[in-house]
Structure 1
């Protein structure tokens, strides 16, 4: 059974730029640069027939390319941080594309995504990193400036079942035109 999700790829020049944020935080497991992405819809472990239905549905999406803006470094997890992320501006085109993925995938019978969509690129997963150390890390990188890229396609990724996922494989790509 494949484990699938849809997302936007991060261009290599931007990925290298984001990789410069790595280091300086004990307890962080930094994501490999080639695995940076912005998840649109986590699907999970599904059978091959459902995967084919999802692919057919995604092929029907017709949307124009749009700009994605990464605005800030942040964390997920509140008082017990679990990830360092680069948050993306929830621009209308991005939110609408994600909502369309959600609708199409739910129609196929995949349960709804329980988490609110917060567009981001995960840079590190945290284990045993104190909230104070994470705050210091973010403070030291207060120079983070907005970065942009043009989303010209979205993809259907697969991953193997492992802690933190990856490596991610592009199973299909769908142009935005």
Structure 2
């Protein structure tokens, strides 16, 4: 049986509250609930149980210091046909290093390399037929948004299930401490 897995940094309530306060006034936005707000380090996709065990073993070997990050700015994916609104993350070498270690752990577990460039972000909403002009105005208003510092003391391996409702279900399976 396969599992849909990803590694991510979960956000504390203090970091989620300002994000939830932004969730209004954009047509076509399907806002992400508090429990779905996270920063993905590496999406692994559907993998079988043996590979999931290998991946867990490799992720558990990651040694990295705890660090702080700051959320700032906004943007979207899907230039002319927007499909996701995100909040950005300030430049952070410790975060980039941790993401690289997750990528190397995935490769050691036998997974194919990630083809997309890492763009650290928090998905705030999925979009459906949101007019680009309205989205541009909305994100321009978020240009001065800043939240943090947020203390990162670990990351988790999450399982993801597609639900019949509006939001996917994300469940942390294993937590890996930093520091």
Tell whether the 8 Å contact from 2:163 to 2:169 is kept in structure 1 after alignment.
no
Task: Please name the residue that 1:168 is paired with.
Answer: 170
- Structure 1 position 144 matched with structure 2 position 158: no
Unpaired runs of 5+ residues, structure 1, are none
Shift of 1:162: 5.2
Measure, in 1, the Cα distance between the counterparts of 2:149 and 2:137. Answer: 25
Following the alignment from structure 2 to structure 1, what is the Cα–Cα distance between the partners of residues 5 and 167? 11
TM-score between the two structures when normalised by the length of structure 2: 0.93
Report 1:2-151 matches (<5 A). 2-151=3-152
Task: Could you list the structure 1 runs, at least 4 aligned residues long, displaced by more than 6 angstroms after superposition.
Answer: none
Q: Larger strand proportion, structure 1 or 2? A: 2
Q: Any gaps of 5 or more consecutive residues in structure 2?
A: none
Q: CA deviation at 1:166?
A: 2.4
| Contact 2:86/2:122, CA 8 A, preserved across alignment | yes
User: Could you say what secondary structure the match of 1:2 adopts?
Assistant: strand
**CA distance in 1 between partners of 2:30 and 2:77 (Å):** 14
TM (normalized to structure 1)? 0.94
Q: For 1:56 and 1:83, locate their aligned partners in 2 and report how far apart those are by CA, in whole Å.
A: 32
Distance 2:120 2:107 in 1: 19
- 1:69 shift after superposition: 1.2
CA distances 1:81-106 after superposition (whole Å, capped 9, x unpaired):
22111111241110011011101101
Q: Considering only aligned residues, what root-mean-square deviation do their CA atoms show, in Å?
A: 1.6
Verify the 8 A CA contact 1:69 1:88 in the aligned structure 2.
yes
What's the secondary structure of 1:168's corresponding residue?
Answer: strand
